[in-house]
Amino acid sequence: MADPRPFAVEYLENPSQEELRTLAFEHTPATQRTIAGTVNKVARNKARMAKYTYVLDDRGADAPWSVNAIDKAKGRELIARQKAYIEEAGTLIAIDAYVGLGQRAFGVTWLYTPEGANIAGMQQVLSFTRGAVESPAQLKEPFAPTFRLIYTPNLFLDDMPGRQAILVDIESYTTHVMGADYFGESKKGVLRMLNEYVFQKGGLVLHAGAKAVTRRDGSRVTMTVMGLSGTGKTTTPFSKQGELTEPIQDDMVCLWPRGELSITENGCFAKIDGLSAESEPVIHAGTVGEQAWLENAFLEPDGSFDFFKGVVSPDEVARLRDVLVRTGADAANVDKYIAGEVKAEEVVNELGVPADGWDFVVWTQNGRSIIPMSTIPGAADLHDVPPVKSMGILNRDEGADAATPGIVRFASPAQAAGYFMLGETSKTSAAGKERGKTRSPFTQPFFPGRHALQAERFAELAATMEDVTMWLMNTGYIGGDGRDAKAGKALKVKIPHSSAMLEALLGEDVVWKKDPDFGYEIVDVDAPENAALLDKVPAEILEPRRFYARTGRESEYEVWVSSMKEQRRTFLQRFEVDPAIVEATCG
C-alpha cells in the first residue's frame, strides 16, 4: 500500500468528534449550528457527481470499467496539482480506521484539508476504530491501510468539467477528490474501491441495507434490501418485522459464499426529506440528537429543523443569501427573488422542479444526516451477523404506468438475478431534475467494473446459498404519483403497507400465485389464508391489474406489460447477461 502520510505537512491525527466539530465551524464554509449544537453544512454539490468520476486508465473506450476513464498522464497532472495545493495549505486531517469488522475488515486512511473538517467528522462516525478491529499488538504497529482517500474540497479545476474531479487509482487503491464538497464522495470513494477489492476476493458488494430478524420459530436470519436512493433502502432496515428486528446496515454489505455477510459501516447515512418522528422514529431521533452530522438540512433562525421544506420564501432567501451565493446560487437571481421581481411560480414547474439558475428557490430533497449506530436502539451486534436467508430489491415505482405489485417473490435465482441486475426504480431528487424510470445494475452505481460481472458473481454465490427467499417490493405508487394519490386517482404504498408485506413474507404466511405476464409470484388476494395481510394492504396494491381494471385503464396495463418486457430485455442484453437469466426475467 502507498504511504498513508505522503505529504510534507502537519497532520491532525485522528481528532475527536468534538475537535472535528470545532474545526468544521472554524474552517468549513457555509456551516450552520443546529439547535442541538451539531453541524449542518450547506454544500455546493447536492449529490454525488458520477459524471465527474474517472478511473485512471490509458485504454480509453476499451477500458474495462463502468465509469469514465481518464488517461494516466492527465490524471497524474491533476494529482500533482492536488499535492501542491495540500502542501501550500500546510495541514491535513488524518482519519485511520476500518470499513467492516473482524476478518472482513479493511483499513482506510482518509486525508482532508481543513475546509473538509465536516466530511472528516462524518466519515469518522461511519468508520470502525483501530481498537475495534486490531489486537493490542497490532495497535503498537504503524497503520497499514488497504485503501486511501485524499479530499480537497476547495481545489477547483478550471480545466475539468464542473471544475472538479474524483480520480480512482485502482492500482494503488487510492481515490483523489478535488473540487467537490459533498460527503457522499468520501463515503462512496472508499466503497467504490471496496467493490473492486471484494470482487477480486470472490465476493460481491451489495448496495443494500440489512437487518437481523428473529422469526416466530426462534431462528435468526439476515435480510438484505437493495435499492437506489429514495426507494426506502434506509427506512426498511429500521422498520419492524418478525418477533425481533435488529438493524445491521443501511447502505452497503458484502456477500460471500454460503450466505456469509460482512458489514462496512458503523452508522447510518439517511435522507431527511419528509423525516418525522411518526414515520421514522429511529432516524428522526438520531438526526435531531447531539451526535449527528447534517448536510443540506433546512434550519429555521433558531437552528431548529424543517424536514418538509419545499419552496423557500423571499424572506428566507434573504436570511440565507450569503450561504446560497457561496454555494453556487446566482447572486443576481437571488436578489431579484428577494426583491419580488421574480416569483416562485414563475420559475418552478408543476412538478416542483426549478428552472436552471433558480435551484435555490426549492430546497434540495437530498438533505442527509449521519447517525452513529450507538444511538440506534435495538441495533444488532455487528460482531454476530447471521447468514442471509432473505434478499430483496426495492422499486419506488411512480407515474401513470406505475404497475409493479406491492410485493413479488421470485420463482428462481435466475429470475432474481435478472431483476437485481435491472435495478429498476423511478428517479428521485438525488438524481437531479430528471424524472421517470431508471435502471442501475444491482442498484450499484459504485461498482467500477463491467456491470455484467455482478450478475455472473451473484449467480455463483446464489448456487452456494440454500433456502434463500428472493423478492421485490414496490415502495412508490400504483397508477400515478403523489398528486394523483391526493386526488384519489392513484394508490400510495405506505410504510405500514411495506412492513405488513415483509412481516407476512418472513413469517411464510403468504399464499402465492403465478403472475400470468411475468412469471414471478404475487399474493393471491382471493386466498382466505391471506385475509390478515389484506386487512393491512389493499388488494389493488398487491395485484395492480385489479386497480387498472376498476378504473377502466386495462389497455394502459397491457401496454405497460409489453413495454416493460421489451425494455428489460434490451437492457439486460446490452450488458451481455446470460441468456438464461434474460429468459427467466422477460419470458
Looking at 148, 180, 201, the residue that finishes a domain is 201
Residue 251 is assigned to a structural domain of this protein: no
Residues 6+ apart with CB under 8 A from 332: none
Whether residue 433 is predicted with pLDDT greater than 60 in this model: the reply is no
pLDDT tens readout for residues 75-97: 999 999 999 999 999 999 999 99
pLDDT of residue 431: 44
**Predicted TM-score of the model (pTM):** 0.92
Looking at 201, 219, 242, the residue that finishes a domain is 201
Query: Percent of the chain, pLDDT > 90?
Result: 88
Write the single-letter amino acid at 322.
Answer: D
Looking at 201, 229, 263, the residue that finishes a domain is 201
Within 10 angstroms of residue 165's Cβ, the number of other Cβ atoms is 27
When the pLDDT of each residue in the chain is averaged and rounded to a whole number, the result is: 94
Per-residue confidence band for 430, with pLDDT thresholds at 50, 70 and 90: very low
Domain range for 146: 10-38+48-201
d(CA 156, CA 179) in angstroms, rounded, equals 5
Domain count, the chain: 2
Per-residue confidence band for 244, with pLDDT thresholds at 50, 70 and 90: confident
What is the pairing mode between strands 253-255 and 220-226?
unpaired
pLDDT tens readout for residues 123-132: 999 999 999 9
Say which residue, 547 or 427, is predicted with more confidence: 547
202 class by beta-carbon count within 10 Å (0-12 exposed, 13-18 middle, 19+ buried): exposed
Residue 514 is assigned to a structural domain of this protein: yes
Q: What would the grid cell of residue 519 be?
A: 412469471
Residue 331 is assigned to a structural domain of this protein: no
Within 10 angstroms of residue 219's Cβ, the number of other Cβ atoms is 11
Whether residue 241 is predicted with pLDDT greater than 50 in this model: the reply is yes
Whether residue 435 is predicted with pLDDT greater than 60 in this model: the reply is no
Q: What would the grid cell of residue 199 be?
A: 470482487
Helix (H, G, I), strand (E, B) or coil at 426: strand
Exposed e or buried b for every residue in 391-413, given b needs 16+ CB within 10 A?
A: bbbbbbbbbebbbbbbbbbbbbb
Write the single-letter amino acid at 346.
Answer: E
pLDDT of residue 62: 83
- DSSP characters for 34-95? -TTS-EEE--S-SS--GGGEEEE-TTGGGSSBSSEEE-HHHHHHHHHHHHHHHHHH-EEEEE
pLDDT of residue 65: 92
Residues 6+ apart with CB under 8 A from 467: 389
Residue 235 is assigned to a structural domain of this protein: no
Within 10 angstroms of residue 331's Cβ, the number of other Cβ atoms is 11
Whether residue 488 is predicted with pLDDT greater than 70 in this model: the reply is yes
504 class by beta-carbon count within 10 Å (0-12 exposed, 13-18 middle, 19+ buried): buried
d(CA 318, CA 526) in angstroms, rounded, equals 58
What is the pairing mode between strands 147-152 and 106-112?
parallel
What CATH number has the domain bearing residue 580?
Answer: 3.90.228.20
pLDDT of residue 171: 94
| Cα–Cα distances in angstroms (integers) from residue 92 to residues 71, 86, 111, 114, 126, in the given order | 28, 8, 6, 6, 19
- Least confident interval from 138-142, 160-164, 349-353, 488-492: 349-353
Residue 452 is assigned to a structural domain of this protein: yes
pLDDT of residue 304: 98
Residue 318 is assigned to a structural domain of this protein: no
For the segment 205-221, the average pLDDT, to the nearest whole number, is: 90
Whether residue 225 is predicted with pLDDT greater than 80 in this model: the reply is yes
What CATH number has the domain bearing residue 130?
Answer: 3.40.449.10
pLDDT of residue 434: 56
For the segment 28-56, the average pLDDT, to the nearest whole number, is: 97
Residue 144 is assigned to a structural domain of this protein: yes
For the segment 484-513, the average pLDDT, to the nearest whole number, is: 94
For the segment 230-248, the average pLDDT, to the nearest whole number, is: 81
pLDDT tens readout for residues 103-121: 999 999 999 999 999 999 9
Report the half-sphere exposure of 399 (CA within 13 A, side-chain side): 15
Q: Are 549 and 386 in contact (CB under 8 A)?
A: no
pLDDT of residue 230: 82
Whether residue 242 is predicted with pLDDT greater than 80 in this model: the reply is no
Whether residue 55 is predicted with pLDDT greater than 80 in this model: the reply is yes
For the segment 369-374, the average pLDDT, to the nearest whole number, is: 96
Residue 386 is assigned to a structural domain of this protein: no
